[in-house]
Every structure is written in structure tokens, then in C-alpha cells.
Amino acid sequence: DAGVTQSPTHLIKTRGQHVTLRCSPISGHKSVSWYQQVLGQGPQFIFQYYEKEERGRGNFPDRFSARQFPNYSSELNVNALLLGDSALYLCASSLWSDTDEQYFGPGTRLTVT
């Protein structure tokens, strides 16, 4: 069975641009979470979606938004990119929400120049 997949693998954008990152969860998983990881830190929670509804939001500005589609895949959108948005963006899926262990994708490496 395929694990969590993310696209693209790497991405280079310029300050002020917009970016869309995509995630496909493990088949049967209904919850998707997004994390940002910078070097030397653990993943920082951005959003959790369950059954197409936002269930949780971390301390990120409104430039960050996400959605979940009927097939449970998800997109993370970041507007007005800043240099500080350069990071590894991880997507994780789980069967339900709340206490389930999450299965992570390999991440999308975003570089903002």
C-alpha cells in the first residue's frame, strides 16, 4: 500500500509569491495534518483537517491556509511568501483524529529567495 505522498518534492519561490503544496493520505485515512519543520527544530503544527473540516490550527499567520477534498487529499497554501517560510513542510495522515498516531510523508522542501 502507498504511504503518504507529497508533491512537489522541492520548490523554489521568490518573496511575495504564493505556493500550493499537496498531500495524499494513506487510503482509508480521513485526517490530514500539516507541519512546518526548520533545521534543528521539531515539526511545528500548522493545521489539522478531519472529514474536510478544520479541527485544529497552530500559531501561524493568516497567510497560511489549507483545505481537504472529498477524497481526503489536502492542499496547504501560503500567500505573500517570506524568507522565513523556507522550511520542510510535512503532511501526516491518520485514521481518525485526536489520538491516532500519524503517518508522515517525506515532505516538501520549500526555499524562498
Partner 1 sequence: DQQVKQNSPSLSVQEGRISILNCDYTNSMFDYFLWYKKYPAEGPTFLISISSIKDKNEDGRFTVFLNKSAKHLSLHIVPSQPGDSAVYFCAASGQDTGGFKTIFGAGTRLFVKA
Nearest residue (CB) to partner 1, 60 versus 86: 60
Q: Assess 41 for contact with partner 1 (CB under 8 A).
A: yes
Q: Assess 40 for contact with partner 1 (CB under 8 A).
A: yes
Q: Assess 52 for contact with partner 1 (CB under 8 A).
A: no
Contact between 92 and 4 under an 8 Å Cβ cutoff? The reply is: yes
Contact between 6 and 107 under an 8 Å Cβ cutoff? The reply is: yes
Mapping DSSP to helix (H, G, I), strand (E, B) and coil, where does residue 112 land? strand
| Residue linked to cell 479541527 | 55
Q: Count Cβ atoms below 10 Å from residue 30 Cβ, excluding itself.
A: 17
Q: Assess 90 for contact with partner 1 (CB under 8 A).
A: yes
Residue 27 CB, nearest approach to partner 1 (Å): 17
From candidates 48, 72, 81, 112, binder to partner 1 by CB under 8 A: 48
From candidates 8, 15, 17, 54, binder to partner 1 by CB under 8 A: 54
Distance CA 38, CA 54 (A): 24
Cell of 113: 529567495
Q: Give the closest residue to 71 by CA, choosing from 108, 34, 29, 99.
A: 29
Nearest residue (CB) to partner 1, 2 versus 14: 2
Residues of this chain that interact with partner 1 (CB under 8 A) are: 4, 33, 35, 40-45, 48, 54-58, 90, 92, 97-99, 101-107
